[in-house]
Amino acid sequence: MNLHRLTPSMSLLVAFEAAARHRSFTRAGQELSLTQSAVSRQVQALENLLQVELFRRSGRQIALTEVGVMYANDIASALSRIRTASSQVLAFRSGGGSLNLAVLPTFAACWLMPLLPSFYKAHAGVLVHTHSRIGRYNLEASRMDAAINVGDGHWPGLIAHRLVDEEPVLVASPRLLEGMPIRVPGDVAGHLLLQVSTRAEEWREWFVANKISSREMRVGPYFEFTMHLIQAVVSGIGIGLVSRCLVEAELRSGELVLPLPESLHNSRGYYFIYPTEKADFPPLVTFREWLLPHALPARPRARIQA
């Protein structure tokens, strides 16, 4: 395959993308400071190079062909990434830029977002784009620079900083407990147990840790997001096991209480993780230096997993 045909010039691609977006050579020319005929010639040159019709022309009206729609979508996405990369490079001159951060949605809402105003106050030139992700995923494949995820600390090939212990605690609505109090672990068996779908075994672990037969469990509905489970507990549907750092606001307001003060001990925690090659990425460095002082003072040092 001719490489020249596979790599059209940027001017041809930009003209085609603008014409496809506006469905007009005239409006594309106005955007690009070119004449209508200049845009038309560049699109025609691209069609000649690819040997395919990208637009159907009817007088002064144009419409994308089926293959034109496919090509326009791919080119628009590629040009967007190029422009974003270029803006990142230009922003570095002033210490700015942006960071694509994958983060668990409930942790983002309950722990990270309340802190972010202080970050932007100190670093107005850096943008943190948050993307909701659940479970394990490939940072590079998902085009993320870094992530905040929960785990046991084993993140192969990544630099990991422990932020907060998971510390699952038993939470309930005080209204629910008025009719059915929980004074000892055995009282939990009388309540509907709400669960997060990705943590189906957590209640069983709690029952085992408290020497209660799992056959006494009243398993309740599953929730995809922990935030929805928290709201269900607040409304009195049932009780839940939730990381303490995710319900601090509800505990302070009195919407939730801890019937039993003990937490379910485990080695898991929330980690700020990123590939080794991103360690000196300026926006990540800025965010990391701001973030880590908010972590627990006793957190382990960052380490690269083998």
Supply the CATH number for residue 213's domain.
3.40.190.10
Q: Which of 11-15, 55-59, 206-210, 264-268 has the lowest mean pLDDT?
A: 264-268
Query: Of 12-21, 61-70, 295-304, which gets the smallest average pLDDT?
Result: 295-304
Do 147 and 107 fall into the same domain?
yes
Is 300 inside any structural domain? yes
Question: What are 233-291's pLDDT values in tens digits?
Answer: 999 999 999 999 999 999 999 999 999 987 777 788 999 999 999 898 889 999 999 99
Strands (E), the chain: 55-58, 61-64, 97-103, 126-132, 146-151, 158-165, 168-171, 192-196, 218-223, 240-243, 269-275, 303-304
Q: pLDDT confidence of 213, banded at 50, 70, 90?
A: confident
**pLDDT for the residue numbered 4:** 66
This prediction's pTM: 0.68
Q: What is the pLDDT of residue 297?
A: 59
- Residue 258 covered by a domain: no
Domain tally, the chain? 3
115 and 162 in a common domain: yes
User: What is the percentage of the chain residues whose pLDDT exceeds 90?
Assistant: 63
Higher per-residue confidence, 139 vs 144: 144
Domain that holds residue 160: 98-166+268-304
pLDDT for the residue 200? 79
Residue 262 lies in a domain: no
pLDDT at position 303: 46
Question: Is the residue at 137 inside a domain?
Answer: yes
Residue 52 is predicted with a pLDDT of 94
Q: What is the DSSP string of 182-250?
A: --SGGGGGGSEEEEEGGGTTHHHHHHHHTT--GGG-EEEEEESSHHHHHHHHHTTS-BEEEEGGGSHHH
Does residue 259 lie in a domain region?
Answer: no
Task: Tell me, yes or no, whether 150 and 287 share the same domain.
Answer: yes
- What is the chain's mean pLDDT, rounded? 88
pLDDT per residue over 103-127, tens digit each?
999 999 999 999 999 999 999 889 9
Q: Which CATH number characterizes residue 26's domain?
A: 1.10.10.10
**Structure confidence at residue 2 (pLDDT):** 64
Angle, vertex CA 38, rays to CA 34 and CA 40, nearest 5: 120
Q: Which of 192-201, 208-217, 261-270, 285-294 has the highest mean pLDDT?
A: 285-294
Residue 220 has pLDDT above 70, yes or no: yes
* pLDDT > 70: percent of the chain: 91
Query: Dihedral sign, CA of 100, 106, 109, 114?
Result: negative
pLDDT of residue 135 exceeding 90 = no
Band (pLDDT 50/70/90 cuts) for residue 304 is: very low
Q: Which of 64-68, 189-193, 207-211 has the lowest mean pLDDT?
A: 207-211
Interhelix angle 10-22/25-32, nearest 10 degrees: 130
